[in-house]
Structure 1
Amino acid sequence: MPASTSFATSIEIDSVTAGYRQGSPVLDGLSLSMNEPGLYRVAGSNGSGKSTFLELISGFLQPWAGSVRLCGIDAGSPDARHLRSVCRTTPALYPSMTVHDHLALAARSRQLGPEAGLARLARYGLQDWAEQPVSILSTGNIRKLWLLMCTVADTPVVAIDEPFNGMDVQGIEALIDELGEWAQHKVVVLISHTVPDQLPISHSFVFEQARETL
């Protein structure tokens, strides 16, 4: 991992304005700090900017104004890739590839050995599906696989969008346990309308919908 990780584990959002259409910001002048390990919940109505916030953390979306920094590194910098794991809502999988091959591909993309992530299969109840193609998986198992792929690397920042949707009891319990473990030494951003009572939420941020500028 690069030397940049010597910075404190943190997400710093400073006066950020961002969106997808000029004149219509989704987030306008947003400032917030997640400056120590913990589980940070982000909530808000549809269109309030929760997923936009995730894309700012991912580095995919650049702010129009202000800055987004992960552990002291600009989120848009190539160096920031090694600092974050981002799990979006919609899985992007290959129907004919097996569960095992998806995990191996995810591991290779993060310069990890092919065995990375396999130990978590049993925890999520996917061990019996390891050699099966994704095309025969249930919606819940697809979501589990997607989560495992997106979080295969050990990074100081983790951001996950609505991970509990469609998951069975075993998957929810496994994710609750992992979120609690990660929160001991990572900044974990959980974007979710509802959360299980067992989750040790450190802080909550509620986004309000920005007014459209005509």
Structure 2
Amino acid sequence: MPNLPTMLRISGLHFGFSAGPELICADHEWHAGLHLVRGDEGVGKTALLCTLADALKSRAGRIEYLLDASGKVQPSDLFWQHPRTELSEADLRMTCRDWIARCAKDYPQWLDADFERHVEGFALDEHMHKPLLALSTGSLRKLWMAAAWASGTALTLIDEPLAALDKPSMRYVQETLNEFTIEDQMERFGEAKRCVIVTHWDAMDGVDWDDTLTLTSP
């Protein structure tokens, strides 16, 4: 297994939503590969991803982005779509294809072929002409994940990927996540350069995580 450089590091991190308790996460670092953040309901899995994405300010501690010498993360280096965030009226009226076209412009490493493969894997093709407001919760989650995987971003954050999905889509998620393990990235590209962090309540059968961080109740 290659000795990969650290891409993201947290230390002394206190975080949480404004209406919730202050949560504390053990010091941790992530390199390229497939990583799990697991824990029961209410321990802060979603809040942690929001904090790592800089969509939620930490209450204390340090987050270091080590993707380059700047110590910061650029929008084009990070994919995060909170599955429960209210979309703007303009976004809701965009067709899926138009929304994806905008994503492709935002992420320089975007992979069209991968996106189309995931559309097929999720059976999304019949929905791609529809506005986002016409999609079910499950179909929206599939669209977010297909975009996340195709984005090519160095840091990709995915919250509870199996929520609201049918069984065939659950199996597709589990199969596809394994493409981001260190071993699989090395086999496909000769290098591991993407860090994918996923939250779920358990280890998710059939997924070969490179690393697991377990959150516990405050």
For the superposition of Structure 1 and Structure 2, which TM-score range results when normalised by the shorter chain? 0.7 to 0.9
CA contact (8 A) 2:17 2:47 kept: no
Distance change >3 Å, CA 183–CA 113, structure 1 → 2? closer
Contact 1:95 1:134 in 2 (8 A): yes
Structure 2-normalised TM-score? 0.75
Taking only the aligned residue pairs, the percentage that are identical comes to 21
Please tell me whether residue 104 in structure 1 is matched to residue 101 in structure 2: yes
Query: Are the structure 2 counterparts of residues 74 and 51 from structure 1 closer, same or farther at C-alpha, using a change threshold of 3 Å?
Result: farther
Corresponding position of 1:178: 176
1:191 to partner: Cα distance: 0.5
The unaligned stretches of length 5 or more in structure 1 are 1-6
Shift of 1:128: 2.2
- For 2:39, the equivalent position in structure 1 comes to 44
Q: Give the Cα separation in 2 of the matches to 1:22 and 1:65.
A: 16
Structure with a larger share of its residues in helix = 2
Aligned residue pairs total 201
Report the CA distance between 1:115 and its aligned residue: 5.1
Distance apart, 1:119 and its partner CA: 4.5
Q: How does 1:1-214 map to 2 (within 5 A)?
A: 8-21=5-18, 24-27=21-24, 30-34=26-30, 36-72=31-67, 77=72, 79-90=73-84, 92-93=86-87, 94-110=91-107, 117-184=115-182, 185=192, 186-210=194-218
RMSD: 3.2
More strand by share: 1
Alpha-carbon distance, 1:37 to partner: 2.7
Q: Which consecutive unaligned segments of at least 5 residues does structure 2 have?
A: 183-191
Q: Secondary structure at the match of 2:37?
A: strand
TM-score after normalising by structure 1: 0.77
Matched AA of 2:206: Q
**Aligned partner of residue 98 in structure 2, secondary structure:** helix
